[in-house]
Chain A
Amino acid sequence: MKKTLFLAVLSVIVFLGVALAETGVKKRRPLPFEYGRVVINNYSEGARLAPVVFDHWQHRMNFTCRVCHVDIGFAMEAEATDIRAVDNMSGYYCGTCHDGKKAFSSCELDFGLKSTETCDRCHSLGKKVERKFDFAETTRGLPKERFGNGIDWERAEDEGKITPSDYIEGVSIKRDQLVVQKDFLLDAKVEGMPEIIFSHKKHTVWNGCELCHPEIFIGIKRGTTKYSMVDIYEGRFCGACHGSVAFPLLDCQRCHTQKVQ
């Protein structure tokens, strides 16, 4: 009896170990249309609505990262922004554009069956909602790349196939041209791995300065902050974007480009 109990407990632990293993196993990779998906559930369930599913790719085609994450003020972590329906209805956060004029209206206090179709466009976790814009259709002509959304967003913009807007009337501040900082080299810690050429220009085109400094990169001078791939995989530093929305960390050679002489 004791032996059976012991074996039973042991098997449960082993099973849980396999089921919940985070490292050491190869889990499912998000499909191109799923990559960049954020689930937001600060208050949805409390309001008896399905949590919000936000897919970055659609917005990414039409706006720079800066417009949402600096001008509108979205945080860069799921549920950290604390978006409420009342914020949206007042014309903030999602409501900045989703006001019924620039894009479909988001949120209303008096929602019911009549508004379900609109609510479901965002509050769709676990529901079979047919999206208005199909990923494959919408991104058909865009240049392809490995992993992530499977799209070379940089080249798409260079080729004029997408023109992300960097200004929203009434929200963004009219600015002068950005003064771009120089590119620089980062050494790889593992011997033999190509060095990284970090391009400020490529990043500032979409992000401006405030998005990264000082919140993500606090070190004033290059080399002040020591970090490694372990930090990056855990979502810090480069991993803040390249873990879930920008081209993923799985694609080593996108950053490790400079062969060591």
Chain B
Amino acid sequence: MAKILFAAVLFCLLTAVSFAGKIPDPEELGKVVLNNTSSRAGMAPVVFDHWLHRAKFTCRLCHVDIGFAMQRGETGITADFNMQGLYCGSCHDGKREIEEKTIFASCAEKATGEERKQCARCHSRGAEGQREYQFETFTGNFPRLPGGHSLDWEKAEEEGIIKLIDFLPGISFHRDPLKAQEDFSIEVTTWASDVIFSHSKHAVWNGCELCHPEIFPSAKKGTVQYSMFQIMRGEYCGACHINVAFSIWICNKCHTKPVR
């Protein structure tokens, strides 16, 4: 009996430790390295930190209006596209003004020694230290999730610390908002408690098109069956909650319904 108890306690401790170790460092969470053609063009791969853009824009703006995919290497961004005003070039064109600041141009046919320093603002793999905005200073006053580790973006918006832009003239189109669906609970078949899914919380930043139909093909709850295995692989909820949104390892952010 004592042995079983000891084993159980040890198991829980180890699980807790392993889980804690898994929650990514907030500065690292959302970091994407892009290298479709950078190396071939003799440039360092691009390092895109989500946190800065996330503090300024809704997810919808980039992933629906501009059309970025949500898988590594999937979008196929090239310097040509950027220079045509697509993808990064939608804002990074040297002309667009956001919050009274002109956004630096991305990519050029040729770049001199001095201009190359601008390239290094994005093509920075291996030299990440030289950023204009530092994570600690920028997010210093952001609220944190319980545990004091990860950032609580939801609360940051509620408290007015960040104000997200959801419309880019010339890129976005006005649409009447669709009625957000009611919150609903997802029954879990294992020992974990049920998940309460909040459509309104997700729709505020994503709209409908970000998730439907590509990530969640059906409009009717229960049509698509998936498990934590698929989520861990980056499908369904994992499309966002592995790499960018709050980590999947903070179990009780989703599994909130009390166990019967």
Contacts and interface: CB of A to CB of B under 8 A. Distances in A.
Query: Do any beta carbons of A and B sit within 8 angstroms of each other in the complex?
Result: yes
A236 to B, nearest CB: 14
Interface residues of B, number: 41
Contacts of B76: 28
B107 to A, nearest CB: 16
A21 B223 contact: no
Contact of A27 (B69, B175, B209, B226): B69
Interface stretch (A39-47, A80-88, A102-110, A247-255): A247-255
A193 B178 contact: yes
A23 B214 contact: yes
Interface string A154-194: 00000000000000000000000000000000000110111
Interface string A222-261: 0000000110010000000000000001111100100100
Contacts of A252: 178, 208-209, 212
Interface stretch (B22-30, B134-142, B233-241): B233-241
Nearest to B63: A26
B178 A26 contact: no
Contacts of A230: 217-218, 223
B158 interface: no
Contacts of A136: 84
Contacts of A76: none
Q: How large is the interface on A (under 10, 10 to 19, 20 to 34, 35 or more residues)?
A: 20 to 34
A189 B219 contact: yes
Contacts of B176: 253, 259
Contact of B215 (A25, A29, A194): A25
Contact of B218 (A14, A17, A229): A229
Contact of B74 (A28, A192, A193): A28
B236 A24 contact: yes
Interface in A132-149: 136, 144-146
Contacts of B219: 189-190, 193, 229
A79 to B, nearest CB: 24
A28 B81 CA distance: 14
B67 A146 contact: no
B81 A26 contact: no
B239 A23 contact: no
Contacts of B15: none
A23 B217 contact: yes
A26 B70 contact: yes
Contacts of B69: 26-29
A18 B231 CA distance: 10
Interface in B54-80: 63-65, 67, 69-71, 74-76
Nearest to B81: A31
A23 B224 contact: yes
A256 B175 CA distance: 11
Contact of B239 (A17, A25, A145): A25
Interface of B: 63-65, 67, 69-71, 74-76, 81, 84, 86, 173, 175-176, 178-179, 181, 208-210, 212-220, 223-224, 226, 230, 233-236, 238-239
The 7 closest A-B pairs by CB, nearest first: A24-B235, A26-B70, A28-B69, A24-B236, A146-B173, A192-B179, A29-B67
Interface of A: 14, 17-18, 21, 23-29, 31, 136, 144-146, 189-190, 192-194, 229-230, 233, 249-253, 256, 259
